[in-house]
A and B are shown apart, each in its own frame.
Chain A
Amino acid sequence: MIGALRWLFFALIVRPVLMVVLGVNIRRRELLPSTGPAIVVANHNSHLDTLALMAMQPLSRLPMLTPVAAVDYFGTGAFGWFAKHIIGIEPIDRSGATPRANLLDGAIRALDEGRILILFPEGSRGEPERFAQFRKGIAHLAKARPETPVTPVFMHGLGKALPRGSYLLVPFNCDVFVGKSWRWGGSVDDFMAELEHRIAALAQEGDFPAWE
């Protein structure tokens, strides 16, 4: 039942809005993982990032797609229910109530169930269209399941369409560049360097107009 609602929400609302109102240009869509377990990492500009990354993939993949997000941000009300069941997030507890060692348990379990995790290692959406420091949770996740392929994605434009703190959706074409996947190589620092290098290389592909 909720699966059907989720399908309808993406088929009838998210996909038409992204295709018609916004317009997404994707390079190398075929590099996105078609089956789990897999991890997709992207830079974070807007509320729309998660929805866009999910909607640009075939609807048949929807049951596998699981964005990882902070639980406190969404709360426990209707918004929280919506985030958990319709968007289908896997919550991470930032409050400190969960012991550090167990923070990633839910995400690891999701990988073991064969899901495709979507992660934004910048944490909260920083200044739109600017990179924030990547957090290391992603590296610990890759370390826990070293066979999982990690696919880097760079997104541009959604932060202009709907930046943080704004409720005014302004149509812009958005760009999404998908890179080749890689795997855990044995060290957290190396993994983070690799991640930053790969996303920065993808960002270099675009020639984006100034937005101040």
Chain B
Amino acid sequence: MSVLAPQVLYAIGGIFGLLFIATGIVWTIDRRPGTELKLRVRSWWMIIAIFTVAMVMDRAISSVLLGFLSFLALKEYFSLIPSRRIDRGILLLCYLAVPLQFYWAYIGWYGMFVVFIPVWMFLVLPATMTLIGDTKGFLTAVGTLSWGLMMTVFTLSHTALLLAAGERHNDVAGGAGLLLFLVFTTQLNDVAQFTWGKLTGKRPIIPRVSPNKTWEGFLGGLATSALVAMLTGPYLTMMDWRWSALAGAMIACAGFIGDVTISALKRDLGVKDSGGLIPGHGGVLDRVDSLTYAAPVFLHFLVFFFMAEQGG
């Protein structure tokens, strides 16, 4: 058991409080049984329960669970995209990158962490394919596999690095404080954007990718996230209220981009959900889409302004 700062426990308590209120509201306004919204709330309970268990455990266990999440996202991605039969071994190589990448994160080896996928894996994958020797569909295979590793492994592994970095750099509430701040702000932004959009949304942002995303929803989510981050940041991170608000706004923007990027992928492939693992949400990728951008943006924001001595 790692020692959790008391405010992390209060924050988790607060999240469960919010969940109780949300459940009460949904069950009051929606009398029909088994609707999508109710399924979604039910799944939120599961997700937050698992996440809480992962947070209060030892950091090694948290990292393994985060790595498993990344594996599920990668598997979902590989199952969605067209692939070549000859690349079966290459796919296995990609899966192998998951434990390695999360191990670099766990031991806090920043130098290896940042180059392992975008340098080593990106060089090794096309090299191996070339040596196998089938050039038909080569470019598509290199492109789709590399981008898949980027989106589901490299970006999501920043959550595990946040745990390791927070232990050294976040005197206020440790790695758990940083991860909780990121994940809570990202998911809150998703919900706030959805709610603002439903209540006031009129002007679509990118109708050809995601017709339900509106300026009203985006800006409402942004303001909500910045405000809540401003209030929670000083207790969970080493940032004061101004930096926290800025980080909240950045997470909101990055989360939005992550969300619509995965939407663009799904639209191109002609699927509505990335999978069926989480009732009411879709697949794992549908749930972590915002994190794929928010996690690296938040971590490198911290590295640049608050952990300068760690860089490189």
Do A and B assemble together?
A: yes
Q: Could you tell me which A residues sit within 8 Å of B by CB distance?
A: 23, 25, 157, 160, 163, 166, 168, 170-173, 207, 209-212
| Complex interface: chain A residues within 8 A of B79 (CB) | 157, 172-173, 209
Contact B88 A168 (CB under 8 A): yes
| Complex interface: chain A residues within 8 A of B270 (CB) | 207
CB of B32 closer than 8 Å to a CB of A = no
| Residue of A whose beta carbon sits closest to that of B95 | A171
Contact B275 A25 (CB under 8 A): yes
The A-B contact count (CB < 8 A) is 46
Interface of A is mostly: loop
| Residue of A whose beta carbon sits closest to that of B72 | A23
Contact A209 B75 (CB under 8 A): no
Q: Choose one: B81, B137, B277; the contact of A209 (CB below 8 Å).
A: B81
| Residue of A whose beta carbon sits closest to that of B91 | A170
Q: Could you tell me which B residues sit within 8 Å of A by CB distance?
A: 71-72, 75-76, 78-85, 88-89, 91-92, 95, 137, 269-271, 275-277
Contact A168 B82 (CB under 8 A): no
Least Cβ–Cβ distance between A30 and chain B, in angstroms: 15
Contact A209 B269 (CB under 8 A): yes
Contact B137 A212 (CB under 8 A): yes
| Complex interface: chain B residues within 8 A of A166 (CB) | 88
Contact B75 A172 (CB under 8 A): yes
Contact A170 B80 (CB under 8 A): no
| Residue of A whose beta carbon sits closest to that of B89 | A168
| Residue of A whose beta carbon sits closest to that of B283 | A173
Contact A23 B277 (CB under 8 A): yes
Since A209-B82, A212-B84 are in contact, a sample of 11 more A-B pairs with Cβ atoms closer than 8 Å, ordered by chain A residue number, is A23-B72, A23-B275, A25-B275, A25-B276, A171-B71, A171-B78, A173-B75, A173-B76, A209-B79, A211-B82, A211-B84
| Residue of A whose beta carbon sits closest to that of B276 | A25
| Complex interface: chain A residues within 8 A of B75 (CB) | 23, 171-173
| Residue of B whose beta carbon sits closest to that of A23 | B75
| Complex interface: chain B residues within 8 A of A170 (CB) | 88, 91-92, 95
Which of B72, B83, B84, B88 is the most central at the interface, judged by chain A CB atoms within 10 Å of its CB? B88
Least Cβ–Cβ distance between B23 and chain A, in angstroms: 27
| Complex interface: chain A residues within 8 A of B85 (CB) | 160, 163, 211-212
